Amino acid sequence: MFVRCLMVFAALLGGASSAAADGSQSAHDFSFTAIEGGSLPLSQYEGKVVLVVNTASRCGFTRQYDDLQAVWDRYRDQGLVVLGVPSNDFGGQEPGTEAEIKEFCEVNFSIDFPMTTKEHVKGKAAHPFYAWAAGELGSMAKPMWNFHKYLIDGDGRLVDWFSSPTAPTSDRMTRAIEEQLARLETIEG
């Protein structure tokens, strides 16, 4: 019982590593629509590490945009992609249009990492990527609020998740990102 409680507590604090159980599907099998319009297939990021984050403009965690941009600036030349997925699923905190969201992010946070159109990230209407991620990592890894983060390796496997309060520049996230980037270097080198 004690061990089970510890596992639940650890999951609530930030996630557990996992990869696809049978390897039959990967993140590269999914596609979004870019915030500017047009297809945004995750397969274009094959061989890169991807941090997928559901975002919102009117959330207490919105200040994480600064950290997401800093992570993007620091690691993009090493193979990291930060992908923002605006969602209005939690507290109605992303009510704007795509144009309004894009302008808000550019003006207030100088965001230049890729973003998608507004998507559902929970429930029956969840984007297929989020439904797949929940199936891969379990119910504890589902987004419980805005700024939930998934880390995907160069092969499209989900390798970790981070709860909303986990800052993108935290030691835990930095270690996870750098570990995945080092694996890319090993494969490429």
Helix axes 171-188 and 64-75, enclosed angle (nearest 10):
20
Question: What is the rounded distance in angstroms from the CA atom of residue 122 to the CA atom of residue 77?
Answer: 32
pLDDT, residue 7, reads: 36
pLDDT tens for the chain, 189 residues long, are 333 333 333 333 433 333 334 557 999 999 999 999 999 999 999 999 999 999 999 999 999 999 999 999 999 999 999 999 999 999 999 999 999 999 999 999 999 999 999 999 999 999 999 999 999 999 899 999 999 999 999 999 999 999 999 999 999 999 999 999 999 877 665
In a domain, 6, yes or no: no
Task: For residue 1, tell me if it sits in a domain.
Answer: no
Q: Which among 52, 59, 115, 137 is annotated as catalytic?
A: 59
Q: How many domains does the chain have?
A: 1
pLDDT attached to residue 24: 77
Residue 128 located in a structural domain: yes
145: in domain = yes
State residue 80's pLDDT score: 98
Residue 87 lies in domain: 12-188
The answer to whether residue 3 sits within a structural domain is no
Active site residue 105: no
CATH code, domain with 132? 3.40.30.10
